[in-house]
Structure formats: structure tokens, C-alpha cells
Amino acid sequence: MAIVAVTVAVYFLYGALRADAAFPGLSGPATHSLVQAPVPANWQDYDTGGSGRLAILLTDPDSAWLGLVQGLKSIGVPFRITRDWRQALRHRVVLVYPTISGKVLDGDALKALVDFPASGGTLIGTHVEGGGLNLVFGFRDIQPSRERRSMNFDTQQRLAQAFDDPHERTIPYSNPAQGALAMGSLGYIGADGVLARFDDGSAAITARQVGAGHAYALGLDPGFLFLTGYNNREQGVSRSYVNGYEPIIDVWLRLLKAMYRQGEPTAVTLDTVPQGKDLAVVLTHDIDYGSSLKNAADYARYEASQGLRATYFIQTKYVRDWNDDIFFDQSSQKSLQALGDLHMEVGSHSVAHSRTFNRMSLGTGDEQYPGYHPFVRSKDVTENASILGELRVSRFLIEHLLPGQHLASFRPGHLRSPYALPQALEATGYRYSSSVTANNSLTHLPFQLTYGREATALSGVFEFPVTIEDEEEPRLGDRLQPALALADQLSRYGGMMVVLIHPNILDHKLDFEQRLVSALRTRAWFGALDQLGDFWSARDRLAVDVAPEGTRLRLTVKAPSALSGLSLQLPAGYHLAATDRPELEVSTPPGKLVLGRIEGSISLTLEK
């Protein structure tokens, strides 16, 4: 026993010495990382803005409305949440959420909603359970169920015409094998007009023109569906893991945007890609292997030669373990500096690159190099590691080698994402995460993360999920055509393509990158994650309102944080007539307005 104990002690002492040897005399970080308690989101915070916005008439605050907030912000539809039906009916487009019935709305409210479409309004009802509204929506009966799995759009219908890809036409959303946890839905029976049907034939979305207005009944809760995707709890409805098209949430968002733009003739919506482009491409590289840091310079030189910035996620591997030998120490400074000199973004890829990161404990927030000594013993066992340790110690070491830099972005090894990651990232100063796949998130757009990947509190961190990676077969160099086909699908609605290439080799991987860049260079926006993150988080804070002014429209854009390259989709037939900022750079591609750097409140005048 004694011999075993001594051997173990020597082994750990050796490891500790080696860890210390990577950066002699260095220790830190000195400051504590504090994980804040969640601050529950409050619907009243969204009860602002003009009557040109989409109104959400919230009939039950104890619902998945936060998912709607995340989704509508992501697709760029301005909205206001209210519980006052009179306020809601001052808007031209009203989404009643999460349910319409006599239990949640009184007789006056129900009558006013019934009359709304005939007066030119657009009424979108979620889970229309009763209240005598079936006539206005045009159905006979309802059929609740947890057995349905998917819905199918009728692409002959105007609002569904855009969904002509098979992955858009059919939208899976629930896994009945989950039993009581499967997503419930309401099928509408005997509907006059049907935009989409469930797999059992009942209507999933009814559509009816009423005079100059429209009435749509939704048979499933889009807020709940969005939260399911954003929180990575998709329960097996995604049709692929990565490298494929999975637009379940995006189709719903495009549909809601189309309903809004159809019903509100002064609608101004925010595009998702900077500079008015139709696709955002983020090139990223994970450095989690000995020679990768050296190869990274070749990728970076090529990217810089094209005037591009990419993101390099670096594993700060200072402990020898089952995974690999030490490859991050004082001598890594030259390689890191080379990336910095080429203006690349450097992010963290954790310390241990553990497959059990998603199961680690949160940690104390006081983990420090060199005492923090995570040890990967096997595929399934990592010792002495914590979420906060992985985040704060890796940041500390990279910033030690790159003085003056403050890391913004993180990606875990093997995309293992613990539930506490959003709040742990926030506590350790990260703002942007690329920790999941787009397919598992059911979206090809960025989104704001929630605390604990749950439904009640937002986190300050935004997620940019991975679209293309280099580990599935066939090898990356043989996958250019499918990648470009995916780029075409995403371009139709301003999707994002985050490309992950490990620089463990050059060969077919660098070749893939070069051919991808040449094919997309002119039509897509390219940037590092911190650039798209800065744009996206500033865009998230924007308030956009439109008010009529005689025959013209006054468009007000309030930007609490500066951003450049915001693209706005204008109301049909309108163009820019004037602005209150003569120095503002503006370009006007057809139907759009692309703004240079903005900050504060800006007023623009639109005319036909």
C-alpha cells in the first residue's frame, strides 16, 4: 500500500512540477470569478415602442414568451409585449400568445379581437382553444395531441411559397417517444384555409383573409419550440448533427416576419447579416493538438492575404495526460503573437479539452495556475477540473502571452456544453460562445443564451453555433459542393455559416478553406467571431420605430451601443429621403438601407 501511495504522490508531484514548468514563476488569475444569481426576465421590459411594431398580446406570463423574444430579435422583427388588449389593437399586427380562450380574455377583448381582421388588422392566435373565435379563424373544431411529430407547408399558399426546400417544407418539432415531455399541439379541424398541416392531417396553421385583414391560428407554441432549440434540448427532432441544413426555428421566424410585413405596410425589419450581405461566414480554428499552433500560421497568413480575420480557439494545454503531451507553454508566445500580428482573433478552447466538460462541477471561481491541474485520465474520466477553472485559467494564460488582449470568445472541446456554461462564461468575462451545432440548436442564426439553458432568465452571452466541421466523413476537402449548396440555402434568409477547421494538417483542409473563400468572397460577409458578436450584441439592443408623417415615414433608430453595417429592410416602395445626420454613410441597395457607424438616436425620413 505504501509503495502505491508513494507512486501516486510522485506521479502527481511530477505532473504539478511539469505544470509549473510551463510558465515558471507565474500564478493567477488573482481576481475571483463571481457567478451571479439569475435575474428573471420581465415581460414589462419589452412593453415599449411605437404602434408600427408587432404587438404580442400576452395572455399568460407563465409561458415561453422569452423564446419569442429571443427569436424575434434574432430575425429582426420589432415588437412590443403588452397585456392590455386595447394597447395591442392599436397595432396592425397582433400575436395573441400563448393561448386565446374565455379563461384568459374577457368578453370585450374577445369581441374586439373577432372584429380586428375585418378592419384591416392581422390577428395571429396561438392555441385558439375557445372564446368563440373559430369563425374568424375559419375552423370547426380543435384536437389536442402529444402524438404529432411534424408539420408540412402548402407551398401553393403565398406566405409559404418561399419554403420550397424539402427541409423547409417539412418541419419536425416533437418526439412522441418522450411521452408527457413531448411537445403538445392543437390541430384545427375543418379549416377553410390551411398554410401547414400536421402529420395527422389536421391544420397546424390556418390562414384566412377577412376583408382587408388576415387571421392565422397557430397550432403549436413557437416560443416553446424556440426555447427547445436555443437551450439545446431538441430531443431528437433535428435531422442531422452538423454539416447539414436544419432550419426548424428559422422557417417559423421567416413566417412570423412575413406575416408582420404583410400586415404592417410601414414595417422596417433588421437584416441578420452586416453590410446588407445575405450570408455571414465565420472561419474558426480549434487548436487542440501539438503541431496545430505551428500550422495555424499558414491558415492565418492565407486569411490575412484575403483581407479576412478568423478566430483561433486555443487549448492551453500545460498538463500531460491521457489526451496529449504539453503543447502550451512560454514558448507558444511567438505563435500566438504571429496570430495577433495578422489581426486574427484568439479565443479560449479550455485547458483540459475534456469530453466530460458538460458534467464538470461549476468550481469555486478561485482556480489559479499552476495549482489548477485538470487531469484527463481517460475518455470518460477527468479529475481536478471545473467549469470555471477551464474558463478562467485558459483566459489568464493566453492573455499572459498576449498582453493587452481581452478574450471575447470561447468554444469547449468536443462541443461539450454544460448547462451552467452561459453564466460561467459571463462570470469569467466571455461574451461570445460557439459551443453547440446549428443543427442541434434548430437554427442557422445567432441567438442570446439563457441562464442555465432554461426558460426564465437571459444571459449576457450570445451563441454562434457551428455549421460546418472537419471530422465527419467524407474528408473536408471532398465536401466543398455540399458546403456551397448549404451556403445557398442560408443565403436565402441571411443565415450564418460558422466553419470549424482544425489546423492539425494543411493539405485538403486549407485547400477547402481557400476554395470556399473564393466561391463566397464577393457575396458573403466574412469576419471573426468577435466582429460578428460585437455587431450582433449591439443590434440586439437597437430600438427601431416607424411613424407616419404626412405622406412620409419617420424612421427612428436608437443604438445604445455603436455598430456599423446595420442593414434595414424598408417598407415596399419606400426609399430614403433625408437623415438628421449629414455625416452618416448610407448605401441603398434595392429595398434596403445600409448604415455606416451609428450610435445614439438617429432619425431618417422615408418617402415613396
Residue ranges that bind Zn ion, judged by CB under 5 A: 286, 288, 413
In a 3-state reduction of DSSP, which class is residue 370?
A: coil
Cα separations (Å) of 356 from 318, 377, 382, 415, 484? Answer: 18, 11, 7, 10, 34
Q: Tell me the residue number closest to Zn ion, measured at CB.
A: 288
Kindly state the smallest distance separating residue 411's Cβ from Zn ion, in Å: 7
H helical segments located in 231-288: 248-263
Kindly state the smallest distance separating residue 224's Cβ from Zn ion, in Å: 32
List phi, psi (to 5°) of 512.
-60, -45
Kindly state the smallest distance separating residue 232's Cβ from Zn ion, in Å: 18
Q: Which is nearer to Zn ion, 414 or 558 (CB)?
A: 414
CA-to-CA distance for 339 and 297, rounded, in angstroms? 7
CA-to-CA distance for 52 and 249, rounded, in angstroms? 24
Kindly state the smallest distance separating residue 131's Cβ from Zn ion, in Å: 53
Kindly state the smallest distance separating residue 270's Cβ from Zn ion, in Å: 33
Kindly state the smallest distance separating residue 316's Cβ from Zn ion, in Å: 12
CA-to-CA distance for 548 and 36, rounded, in angstroms? 43
DSSP secondary structure, 528-555, as one string: -HHHHHHHHHHHHT-EEEEEEETTEEEE
Q: Which is nearer to Zn ion, 67 or 412 (CB)?
A: 412
Cβ atoms of residues 336 and 417 within 8 Å: no
H-helix or E-strand containing 123?
strand 122-126
Kindly state the smallest distance separating residue 346's Cβ from Zn ion, in Å: 15
Q: Which is nearer to Zn ion, 308 or 500 (CB)?
A: 500
Q: Which is nearer to Zn ion, 98 or 413 (CB)?
A: 413
Q: Which residues contact 178 (CB under 8 A, 6 or more apart)?
A: 235
Kindly state the smallest distance separating residue 272's Cβ from Zn ion, in Å: 27
Q: Which is nearer to Zn ion, 286 or 399 (CB)?
A: 286
Q: Which is nearer to Zn ion, 123 or 499 (CB)?
A: 499
Cβ atoms of residues 557 and 239 within 8 Å: no
Vertex 219: Cα angle to 247 and 107 (nearest 5): 140
Q: Which is nearer to Zn ion, 172 or 413 (CB)?
A: 413
CA-to-CA distance for 150 and 179, rounded, in angstroms? 16
Kindly state the smallest distance separating residue 500's Cβ from Zn ion, in Å: 9
Q: Which is nearer to Zn ion, 55 or 287 (CB)?
A: 287
Q: Which is nearer to Zn ion, 415 or 593 (CB)?
A: 415
Q: Which is nearer to Zn ion, 149 or 355 (CB)?
A: 355
Kindly state the smallest distance separating residue 312's Cβ from Zn ion, in Å: 12
Cβ atoms of residues 401 and 329 within 8 Å: no
What Rg do the C-alpha atoms of the chain give, in angstroms?
26
Kindly state the smallest distance separating residue 315's Cβ from Zn ion, in Å: 7
HSE at residue 76, side-chain half, CA atoms within 13 A, is: 24
Name the one residue in this structure whose C-alpha cell is 442531422: 240
Q: State the cell numbers at 595.
A: 448604415
Q: State the cell numbers at 516.
A: 470556399
Q: Which residues contact 409 (CB under 8 A, 6 or more apart)?
A: 311, 313, 345, 347, 348, 430, 431, 432, 433, 434, 529, 530, 533
Kindly state the smallest distance separating residue 335's Cβ from Zn ion, in Å: 17
Q: Which of 391, 381, 396 is CA-nearest to residue 321?
A: 381
Q: Which is nearer to Zn ion, 348 or 569 (CB)?
A: 348
Q: Which is nearer to Zn ion, 250 or 286 (CB)?
A: 286
Kindly state the smallest distance separating residue 192's Cβ from Zn ion, in Å: 53
Q: Which is nearer to Zn ion, 221 or 321 (CB)?
A: 321
Strands (E), 211-321: 213-218, 269-270, 280-287, 311-314
H helical segments located in 402-491: 421-427, 438-441, 480-491
